[in-house]
Structure 1
């Protein structure tokens, strides 16, 4: 019999999948009480069409074929697109190789998906954006009431009093489309606190450091045996696991760990987006601070920088709830439990 319990959280995802987006999606698909209403795709880690194909393939791997996957804008609002295959691999999911999806990309534009969802279900849908904010900015242009029609919004992006990961001051998602980010924050200024976006920025998401031990723990808990990602193995080594979910996770994260090591960050993978979707699902504890955020778009030196007025100097109404603290150990305990269950069911 199908589960008749109402979903605790109805989520509309906008992603640029992406290794950490992929892990985040796998976690959500394994989480009871969460309904992924649709997935909209933007260009960022890789091009938007590759993002869509990655999402369709992951949905099928995880036994959730049928979720609508739609493409939105394939370029930022005002500046040329940059992608980051060196970070996420040519296909966007590292060394992981999934069968070509049987499902098809939706004929609808991402903006139409967002507008229909919030208009048909006002106050019931939580938006989650783990890529550039292009599609959300376009949706707000088309429906200025969208922030009030959403139940809530979670954004992975930005860096506040913390170094950027793309330029000295800019985080990747915001750097790809700073004009979109600026528009989104402006649209939220002065709205009720419960409607303001929860912003998961680098100072907390870089604390979510996935290690080989976490991947091994997923495999062992799934009954798939050990899955060792050894730092001294040749680059590009592939998983030998007979479990498809474990192999996908391992091969994707190995690529990400090799990238981080290349930049002297250790043999780890920062799972930015996993933390953001856990916040959206209501499963991650965190501390937050109410602030006004703006985004630099004019300076060639600091374009993409997110600036938070912590002292109220601008005398403007708040437009964001910035996450100021989290619990990485609890995040990984939950990740292991959820992904191990997924691997047992669909591996």
Structure 2
């Protein structure tokens, strides 16, 4: 059994990752921590709760976290995930939300409690994790595994020709996390672009006719439409965040290369993730370079909605 915390910015593919984690018998989802990213943190917090409710998993706690990058500002276009983060299915947040505990404090507490048994899957900008490391540096040597959806080490980015979205939104946080010594598996665009959901897949959800399947179909269609305009060559939308959950549970889905990874902060290559050949430390990051996409997709669709 994998004791898991999801750190998310829900987000359409984050919602699909939550659904996958909830559905897997091998996962004990301890909680969900939220941050800004695809939408402001109040939206990510609300969206995560609504997704869990739709899945019949409202008992899983959700924690509100970071509101902005460590050193930068964040603007939201709504182009890919909608202004509400879930394909315009939920609309605006009416009032700011509050959780029983801040996400950063919850992460620190759970790492101290579960230590090597705990897996953190981060599918958002890495601000919460960076803040946790800064506040309690000792947790770096405690946690069992950190799986991050982020980066584009050997492939072009999806925001710029170099950078992937979760990294470039808060590159300082990403750099801090990737240089921290945490036991990281980096699930980047190198592999996530090979796992695609299509309109035919969404049609099957519609046919099920349940409230949850209808809800997921509506916001996933928004995502598919955005992908058809921005990345028509893919013939579907990439399951970035669900793949990170899959790798956390089934690490043999991917082939990895140990690597010290750095995040560029220069303006002309901001957010680029590359191998740091000058760092002498033994690598603690495994970069995913190949994926058994068919096996992952079969598992995903066997469990989700």
Q: Does 1:215 align with 2:202?
A: yes
**How big is each residue's C-alpha offset from its partner over 1:288-324, in whole Å with a ceiling of 9 and x where there is no partner?**
0001101112x11111111114xx4544431310011
Residue 119 of structure 1: which of 112, 115, 132 is its match?
112
Find the residue that maps to 1:168 and give its secondary structure: coil
Higher helix share: 2
CA distance in 2, matches of 1:281, 1:218: 24
Residue 294 of structure 1: which of 258, 262, 266 is its match?
262
Q: Does 1:45 align with 2:38?
A: yes
**How big is each residue's C-alpha offset from its partner over 1:17-43, in whole Å with a ceiling of 9 and x where there is no partner?**
110000110111111131111111111
Q: Does 1:75 align with 2:68?
A: yes
Q: Does 1:244 align with 2:237?
A: no
Map of 2:12 onto structure 1: 19
CA distance in 2, matches of 1:276, 1:315: 28
Normalising by structure 2, report the TM-score: 0.93
Q: 1:82, 1:176 within 8 Å by CA — same for their partners in 2?
A: no
Q: Which runs of 5+ in 1 are unaligned?
A: 1-7, 189-194, 225-241
CA distance in 2, matches of 1:272, 1:61: 21
Larger Rg over CA atoms: 1
Q: 1:10, 1:34 within 8 Å by CA — same for their partners in 2?
A: yes
Q: 2:205, 2:217 within 8 Å by CA — same for their partners in 1?
A: no
**How big is each residue's C-alpha offset from its partner over 1:91-137, in whole Å with a ceiling of 9 and x where there is no partner?**
11114349x9xxx7423111110111111222221111000000000
Provide closer, same or farther for how the CA distance between residues 265 and 316 of structure 1 changes in structure 2, counting only shifts above 3 A. farther
Provide closer, same or farther for how the CA distance between residues 271 and 84 of structure 1 changes in structure 2, counting only shifts above 3 A. farther
CA distance in 1, matches of 2:32, 2:77: 21
Normalising by structure 1, report the TM-score: 0.82
CA distance in 1, matches of 2:51, 2:198: 22
Q: 2:3, 2:27 within 8 Å by CA — same for their partners in 1?
A: yes
Residue 270 of structure 1: which of 210, 232, 238 is its match?
238
Q: 2:199, 2:236 within 8 Å by CA — same for their partners in 1?
A: yes
CA distance in 1, matches of 2:274, 2:268: 14
Range moving further from structure 2, 164-173 or 205-214: 205-214
Provide closer, same or farther for how the CA distance between residues 123 and 315 of structure 1 changes in structure 2, counting only shifts above 3 A. closer
Q: Does 1:308 align with 2:258?
A: no
Map of 2:157 onto structure 1: 164
Deviation at 1:284, TM superposition (A): 6.0
**Structure 2 counterparts to residues 77-116 of structure 1, below 5 A:** 77-97=70-90, 105-116=98-109
CA distance in 2, matches of 1:284, 1:338: 19
Q: 2:206, 2:214 within 8 Å by CA — same for their partners in 1?
A: no
**How big is each residue's C-alpha offset from its partner over 1:262-284, in whole Å with a ceiling of 9 and x where there is no partner?**
12425511110010011112376
Find the residue that maps to 1:122 and give its secondary structure: helix
- Number of aligned residue pairs: 302
CA distance in 2, matches of 1:264, 1:36: 32
Provide closer, same or farther for how the CA distance between residues 121 and 175 of structure 1 changes in structure 2, counting only shifts above 3 A. same
**How big is each residue's C-alpha offset from its partner over 1:72-105, in whole Å with a ceiling of 9 and x where there is no partner?**
110000011133411100111114349x9xxx74
Q: Which runs of 5+ in 2 are unaligned?
A: none
CA distance in 2, matches of 1:268, 1:142: 40
**How big is each residue's C-alpha offset from its partner over 1:201-247, in whole Å with a ceiling of 9 and x where there is no partner?**
11111111111122234455xxx2xxxxxxxxxxxxxxxxx411211
**Structure 2 counterparts to residues 57-68 of structure 1, below 5 A:** 57-68=50-61
Map of 1:3 onto structure 2: none
Map of 1:232 onto structure 2: none
